[in-house]
Amino acid sequence: MAEHRIETPVSDEDIAKLRAGDKIFITGYLYTGRDSAHKKLIELVKEGKELPIDVKGQIIYYVGPTPARPGNPIGSAGPTTSYRMDSYAPTLHSLGLKGTIGKGSRNEEVKESLKKYKGVYLAAVGGAGALISKSIEESEVIAYPELGPEAIRRIKVKD
């Protein structure tokens, strides 16, 4: 198992170095989102409208964080079960999304989409939300604030 450090935005070359089982440390900005936010993004795509985020070269972390305590940018930020986004992922991959982070397996359509568009699915450890949140330096709601914890956030992460 190799270790890799990557920075966002992510390139095809970054993805090509990765292998199943590798340990990945990410520095830069990620977007967050769960099924409600993904549904809204895909509706915009179908309507031919601009997305509130540019997904090209980006990674989406499937998370609905808890409220931040005073002095912290975010609360506990454990991964959400990824299969709930499977129906939306191929469309986002086709728009340039390079990676997703979540827990659990993906369906065959998502796996094929990742191969076709040179993307990656990164598995995070469920139950480690408090630990993961320590790597998040900034958090800002970018879209769909009405969704509460499921809003799309832009988070700055280090390792």
147-152 long-range contacts, CB within 8 A, separation 24+: 147/36, 147/37, 148/64, 149/64, 149/65, 149/66, 149/67, 150/33, 150/34, 150/35, 150/36, 150/37, 150/64, 151/37, 152/31, 152/32, 152/33, 152/37, 152/52, 152/53
Nearest 5°: phi and psi at 152? Answer: -80, 125
Q: Which of 34, 38, 40, 103 is catalytic?
A: 38
- Does 93 participate in catalysis according to the annotation? no
- Residues labelled as active-site residues: 38
